[in-house]
Structure 1
Amino acid sequence: MLRKILLSCLCLLTCFLPADAQELRANVSVQPSPQLGNSTDRRVFNTLQTAMAEFINNRRWSDDAYAPGERIECNFLLTVSEALGNNTFRASLTIQAARPVYNSAYNSSILNIQDPNVVFQYVEFQPLEFNEQRIVGNSPLQSNLTAILAFYNYIIIGLDADSFSPRGGDVFFKKALNIVNNAPDGKDISGWKAFEGNRNRYWIQDNLLNTKFSAFHDVMYQYHRLGLDMMYEDVNKGRAAIMNCLNMLSGINADQPNSMIVQQFFLAKSDELLKVFSKAPPQEKVRAGQLLSALDVPNANKYQQLR
């Protein structure tokens, strides 16, 4: 596995440790928002935080063996905004994940997303359970949280795998699709269906598996392996590869304007791209600024400094 070969160079100190760790190293936080008031005992959120961390970090999400130093760094922040009664809550979930850059101490963001449609039922100390063969479980409201967490775990692992080998993430994106196809359904549960919005879980997996966006996977691989990972050896060559990725994204955007996957790419990469091209030759810097301003309209003002 290419990822393991590359990361062995990054994690020499762990190469003598057994390769039996799970895929993710997640920092998990559950925070009640001020608007929740005192309607719920805060201890339940501490228990939930521990349960979520154990669910994400201690479960095997693939057949690959990861050494401890190879685990994917990620953050999950669950902000609980409303108690709906009967141990049921409404929340938003922010997910971030990063991938190490070869021969550096730098981690490159591969996912930075907020999911506002998280409704779940949780009783203090109840185990968080997930079965790929029976995703809905015994209770849609109880299983909705674990289905959402599992969905994003597979998206993270898939994007990471895409960044190390061409189409490396397909198997994980298909697992995410399985969750979408068999997701819990019921009152207040949303985010799993196409008609529920154009920026939800359904559209994430659709974009990642739809052949209309097949070039995006080339972008993920070339940006990281031929771009960022190359920069320790040849900055100009690495930056040229990243410029080529912007051209490919421009092609995707021309065919599929305002797609979720392209917007998510820039949510993760805007600051990084600004740094990559800030020291480019003038002509290359201007071209990058033009492309970025057109592709990432919300951050267009940020890219003015490249003009």
Structure 2
Amino acid sequence: MKICIMVNNLQLKTGFLFLIILFATVFVQAQELRVNVTVNSNQISGSDKKMFTTLQNSIKEFLNGRRWSDDVYTPAERIECNFLLNITGDMGGNQYKATLTIQATRPVFNSGYVSSLLNMQDNNIVFRYVEFQPLEFSDNRVVGNDPLASNLTATLAYYAYIILGLDNDSFSPRGGDAFFKKALNIVSNAPDGKDIAGWKPFEGNRNRYWLQDNLLNVKFSRFHDVMYQYHRQGLDVMYDDMTKGRGAIMNCLNMLYAVYQDIPNSMLMATFFTSKSDELQKIFSKAPPQEKSRAAQLLAQMDVTNAAKYQQMK
């Protein structure tokens, strides 16, 4: 009888130990991103379509299977993202031109609503890919052995860090700085070569260089205050107090307007409004007339592309 009890106790302890190890393993292994990846090759003909399916799976594994930080994320905390790589040209020699559309969202507290953190398209993607070649990336050696092959993984890693930075900014004051610095490291050590573009300031005013530059530039320090207040003091309190949450977002518009007056037409502001224009219109369409009019005025000045949309709120 005593032996039986000892055996049962041993089995019970073993079972508990197994559960602890199992939960710890799941907890530790949970990655930061949950990315839906699509590779579209409809614009080109004559290429092996199976190869692009392999590439799609490789990119998905690269983004979802890699630890991008030392932070611990539970499966429920993973950031929802969409990456669409649209192949636009076959340059021969396993080299391709493409555009990359990147979208990322953040859940809003106590609701089923998700807010867009990033919604942009990068038109300067050139890369080399041979089916089944591993997608490799190292923060310490961004350029790799083949600049054209590394250009794809460097770009994917860059946007992973940008997304992590914006997400962390939205949950804690200046929470994204460490990730924006990792994006800067990629820009500073980016692959270089014929046809590779998007990493240098003289290659345009809307590229990877300028986005990370704006995010780390002290002139845009109030933008990070906006990211935190907009989400934590604005959207996250709207379930309990719509007026209070909308008031916090109105204050964010005033802060953004101060940034806009100092630095009009910046990439960072354009990126913000591309992600938030529809949301802002919905938020202020139900505001009192005076608040609605003020929001429409500020938004139309800062976001000329969507000015007509905001004017409809008046």
Global fold match (TM > 0.5): yes
CA-to-partner distance for each residue in 1:181-214, whole Å, 9 max, x for gaps? 0000000000000000000000000000000100
Match of residue 178 from structure 2 = 171
| Aligned CA distance change for structure 1 residues 90 and 253 (closer, same or farther; 3 Å) | same
In structure 1, runs of 5+ residues without a counterpart are 1-13
Match of 1:249 among 256, 259, 263: 256
The whole-number CA distance in structure 2 between the counterparts of 1:211 and 1:39 is: 49
User: 1:15: how far off?
Assistant: 12
Give the alignment of 1:110-125 within 5 angstroms: 110-125=117-132
Match of residue 102 from structure 1 = 109
The whole-number CA distance in structure 2 between the counterparts of 1:39 and 1:50 is: 21
Give the alignment of 1:42-121 within 5 angstroms: 42-121=49-128
Match of residue 12 from structure 2 = none
Match of 1:290 among 279, 283, 297: 297
TM-score norm. by structure 2 comes to 0.91
Code of the aligned partner of 1:107: V
Match of 1:93, SS state, is strand
The whole-number CA distance in structure 1 between the counterparts of 2:237 and 2:100 is: 34
Match of residue 277 from structure 1 = 284
Code of the aligned partner of 1:172: F
User: 1:305: how far off?
Assistant: 1.8
Contact 2:27/2:72 (CA < 8 Å) preserved in 1? no
CA-to-partner distance for each residue in 1:28-78, whole Å, 9 max, x for gaps? 0000142x1x23111111000000000000000000111000000000000
Match of 2:194, SS state, is coil
User: 1:18: how far off?
Assistant: 2.7
Match of residue 230 from structure 2 = 223
CA-to-partner distance for each residue in 1:156-191, whole Å, 9 max, x for gaps? 000000000000000000000000000000000000
1:200 aligns with 2:189: no
Match of residue 27 from structure 1 = 36
Code of the aligned partner of 1:58: G
| % identical equivalent positions | 67
Structure 1 range deviating more: 14-23 or 125-134: 14-23
| Number of aligned residue pairs | 292
User: 1:233: how far off?
Assistant: 1.4
Code of the aligned partner of 2:113: Y
Contact 1:74/1:97 (CA < 8 Å) preserved in 2? yes
TM-score norm. by structure 1 comes to 0.93
CA-to-partner distance for each residue in 1:206-236, whole Å, 9 max, x for gaps? 0000001000000000000000001011110
Code of the aligned partner of 2:27: P
User: 1:16: how far off?
Assistant: 12
Match of 1:77, SS state, is strand
Match of residue 3 from structure 1 = none
Over aligned residues, Cα RMSD in angstroms?
Answer: 1.4
Stretches (4+) displaced over 3 A: 14-17
